[in-house]
Chains A and B, each alone.
Chain A
Amino acid sequence: MAEAVGGGLGVGLGSARRSRRLLAAGVVIVTILVLVAAGAPVLTAYDPDAIVVEHYTAPLPPHAGHPLGTDTLGRDVWSRIAYGARTSLVVGGLAMAISLAIGVAVGLVAGYFGGALDAFFMWVVDLVLTMPTLLLLIVLAAMLPPALLTIPLVIGLVGWTTFARTVRGEVLSLRERDYVVAARALGASDARIMVRHLLPGVLPGVIVLTALGMSGAIGIDAGLSYLGLGVPLPTPSWGRMVSDAQTYFAVAPWLVVVPGIAVSLAVIGFNLIGYGLIDVLGTRRP
């Protein structure tokens, strides 16, 4: 049914030249993000959780000592943004890894074996797609004990369906190809055919989906953190920074603006990579 939607969001960016440029822009943004996350201890002068302002009166606006100002508790905002990049990337990366593992495995098995197995898995995919995603995530996140791994697990458990659907679709067409038929005739086992012969064929689509899924996971993680359901305190997270600061918007707007820009940049970066790759890798619409 959703296949009928055709492109969905998975349409390329038009010309190949344009795609390469946007892809390059995405790579630059994501590289900066990774460098900031990895180099956070070197790039920041303060501990993200430490209260660094003596004689605290009000949040300090950006100035020389604190390039992004200080927050409502007197902590350095730049440090929290830099360490928050770690949280976002780790949560997004783990969530993607879980989605990828479940989705690719289910897609390969369902597409390759077909029949009742396929029907069952696709029914489950439909089921998960029917559930209101964010509500489901909120319920899961609130009911599982808070831990760094809870959020990636929750996002991964809901997000694998897109991978499964795409991989299955690709496998359905690949398994009739001559080289797969030949491999089967030579007596290759099912597992070998799936891993050695089918998996490489679905990789381009999976790579695109991973990049797009990464941006989705970072966005969802920010939303959950905003609602207070993200990684447990005191780990800095961008979404939490917005919700903590929103009542101070009138006196300290930078506290809301800066983490929002950080989330947006991260999401844009991975989106540019994903959409850019659609044309560059010549994949079909995922």
Chain B
Amino acid sequence: MLAYLVRRLLRAVTTLLGTTLIIFLLVRVVPADPAVSIAGPKADPQTLAKIRKDLGLDDPVAVQYGRYLWALAHGDLGRSYITERRVTDVIVERLPATALLALASLAVGFAFGLGVGIITAARQGSAVDLGVLLGTLIGLSLPAFWVGNLLIYLFGYRLRLLPLGGFGTLRHLILPAATLALVEFFFYARFVHANVSGTLGSDYIRTARAKGAPPMRIYLRHALRNAMIPIMTLLGLDVAALMSGVVLTETVFNWPGLGRLAVQAVFSLDIPLVAGTVLFSATLVLASNLIVDLLYGVMDPRVQRG
């Protein structure tokens, strides 16, 4: 187990280093001049030169990358060009809104997806199964920004039941969470269905059936339990999908989270803020993948040798 742990941690660290390199290169190839986005388009050349010198933009690229890593090692993501606030502070400020939205939609989508996935796996070939399959194929194809707009129109404008957007109360959470949960739901319904019906064909299920175990017990106790390992793995990987999902949803609903922050930062060429949010999301994804892998190693010892 220890060897597995060390190997896995080492890989996570090299991946994280690679991520910082990609982000650094991405930010360095920007055609736009950061000095201009700080001082404005009308600034005189001396001011621009001074800003460039202060930011160290004239140093060799390797030196800049080293300085970037050094700052990161000290937990310093730099300061926003526009507001001059520390990027870490801004991220910490925006994180709760995104976490609330992501966790709420994940909880709802996962719970319903799990239930529907088990039911359709138990009733394969039935009308319910086919209906859910078609619903999933269609549901996963609808663009989230469009679904969000339809929900706003229907529940916000027509029925006047819920606010059109913004943040604050539980009522504000319902529509954006529903938009995001819809995709999560279809995703898990399909995945749980596939994995549970996969295990339903195994010998030990036949044995359980032959013993006369009640169907409910077979589905929940035997089939679901074995299908839980891949399902749990997917939950970890889903963090990446959620981090992408919140970007569009937050934009549609004016939700003050990390996704909208990143989009705004990109549009205002606020490089440190862009780099900071991308690195933060990547680290989150990396950490969740690592946790899932380690759990996986605990649950299924064969993995450790892989």
Mark A residues whose CB is within 8 Å of B.
1-2, 4-9, 11, 13-15, 18, 22, 123-124, 126-127, 129-136, 138-140, 142-145, 215, 219, 222-223, 226-228, 239, 242-243, 246, 249-250, 253, 256-257, 259-260, 263-264, 267-268, 271-272, 275
Contacts and interface: CB of A to CB of B under 8 A. Distances in A.
B133 A138 contact: no
A13 B278 contact: no
A135 B152 CA distance: 24
Interface in B182-234: 187, 190-191, 194-195, 198, 229-230, 233-234
Interface stretch (B43-51, B52-60, B66-74, B243-251): B243-251
A124 B21 CA distance: 12
B278 A139 contact: yes
A271 B140 CA distance: 9
Interface string B123-159: 0110001100100011011111110011011000100
B16 to A, nearest CB: 8
B263 to A, nearest CB: 6
B282 interface: yes
A38 B231 CA distance: 43
A250 B157 contact: yes
21 contacts: A1-B233, A4-B233, A8-B234, A11-B191, A14-B124, A22-B137, A123-B15, A123-B18, A130-B286, A132-B278, A134-B247, A136-B278, A143-B32, A219-B141, A250-B153, A259-B146, A260-B146, A260-B150, A264-B142, A264-B143, A268-B141
A130 B19 contact: yes
Given A4-B230, A249-B149, A223 B143 contact: yes
Nearest to A224: B248
A127 B267 CA distance: 25
A139 B152 contact: no
A227 B31 contact: no
Interface of A, secondary structure class, is helix
Given A132-B285, A143-B26, A267-B143, 14 more contacts: A4-B303, A7-B195, A18-B130, A130-B289, A131-B278, A132-B244, A140-B26, A143-B30, A222-B143, A256-B149, A259-B146, A260-B146, A264-B142, A267-B141
A15 B130 CA distance: 11
Contacts of B82: none
Contacts of B237: 2, 5
Given A134-B244, A215-B141, A223-B143, A142 B31 contact: no
B262 A264 contact: no
Contacts of B129: 14
A131 B19 CA distance: 7
B274 interface: yes
A142 B251 CA distance: 16
A228 B140 CA distance: 23
B15 A143 contact: no
B251 A131 contact: no
Contacts of B240: 129-130, 132-133
Given A5-B237, A6-B230, A222-B143, A138 B153 contact: no
Nearest to B292: A1
Most chain A CB within a 10 A radius of its CB, from B138, B143, B230? B143
A120 B245 CA distance: 29
Nearest to B278: A135
Which of B18, B198, B229, B277: most chain A CB closer than 10 A?
Answer: B18
A192 B269 CA distance: 48
Nearest to B275: A139
A274 to B, nearest CB: 10
Contacts of B146: 242, 256, 259-260, 263-264
Contacts of B31: 143-145
B3 interface: no
Closest 6 pairs between A and B when the two form their complex, measured CB to CB: A260-B146, A134-B244, A267-B141, A11-B194, A132-B281, A268-B141
